[in-house]
Amino acid sequence: MKYKKILVTGGSGLVGSAIKQIADEKFIFLSSKDCDLLEYNQSFDKISEIQPDCVIHLAANVGGLFKNINQKVQMFEDNILINLNILKICNKLNIKKFIGCLSTCVFPDSTNYPIDENMLFNGPPHESNYSYAYAKRMLEVQCRAYREQYDLDYSCVIPTNIYGPHDNFNLEDSHVIPALIYKCFLAKSRNQDFVVAGTGTPLRQFIYSLDLAQIIIKLLEIEYSDTIIVSPEEEISILDISTIIANKFEYINKMKFDLSKPDGQYKKTASNKRLQKILPDYKFINIKEGLNKTVDWFIENQDKIRV
């Protein structure tokens, strides 16, 4: 690899931890314990000290549907400020390579499927997560501006719903898979119903965290500087996800659905054609295998999980 020192922000999070599994000594991982990225001067001093020539930017204020609904101001302001600080610092320090991480929630709510990279700004995002989504859209705008004005290799990946070990399993703030895993665990331990919010009908594409980590590292090794969706083709319903998890815990007979809770956006089918052209031979882990690995990790690390 041509880069001598690669800084990973959000280094203790879901994707940062996955990169750490496969990284060599060139990678340096920055977490919130090391530096508050909301503070420009603190962040500048820390990154100047590290002197990376490449940055993988994963740090964000992130959560699931209900956090996006209930903490709109924080989700917008924190993410705008973090991204603004990091990119300004990268430019000031003449860091040539930057990969930022978005989310498929940035895409328009009313659109044609499958969604591709050219449709990012074709309409407003879904009402349930517009604050977070607009903040993330601005990261793509900022990267493109730096790329065009200063000829810097700054780009973004747009992964579908990420899951895996080292996730946030908090029942209020987490994404759907870790929330379901923790819910099922608690339900079984208390001999209660495993209650899934909504109808279970929404469809999603999920990517295992190690898959995303491997693809990001591969993107460092090739000449590519544009926004790219990172996703398997397979879509799966929340019902099927819940069923796999309940079966893994051997608790399927106690699964029920709370129809009073919102489903969120029904589907966000994303095209991975651009990714397939760049990495045609990459094979994603099967969703059932990935879920089983994640549940196994959860069970083995109950004293370490983020809740």
Q: Which residues are catalytic?
A: 132
Under 8 Å between Cβ of 18 and 210 = yes
| CB-count exposure of residue 160 (10 Å: 0-12, 13-18, 19+) | buried
List C-alpha distances in Å: 63 to 164, 179, 261, 287.
15, 11, 17, 21
The neighbouring-strand residues paired with 257 are: 196
Q: Phi and psi (nearest 5°) for 61?
A: -90, 110
Peptide bond into 159 cis (omega under 30): no
Under 8 Å between Cβ of 228 and 274 = yes
174/21 Cα distance (integer angstroms): 22
Structure tokens at 140: 């793509």
Give, as one character, the DSSP assignment of residue 199. -
Structure tokens at 206: 């999920």
The neighbouring-strand residues paired with 7 are: 28, 55
Which secondary-structure segment (H or E) carries 15?
helix 14-22
Nearest alpha-carbon partner for 65 in 133, 117, 14, 16:
133
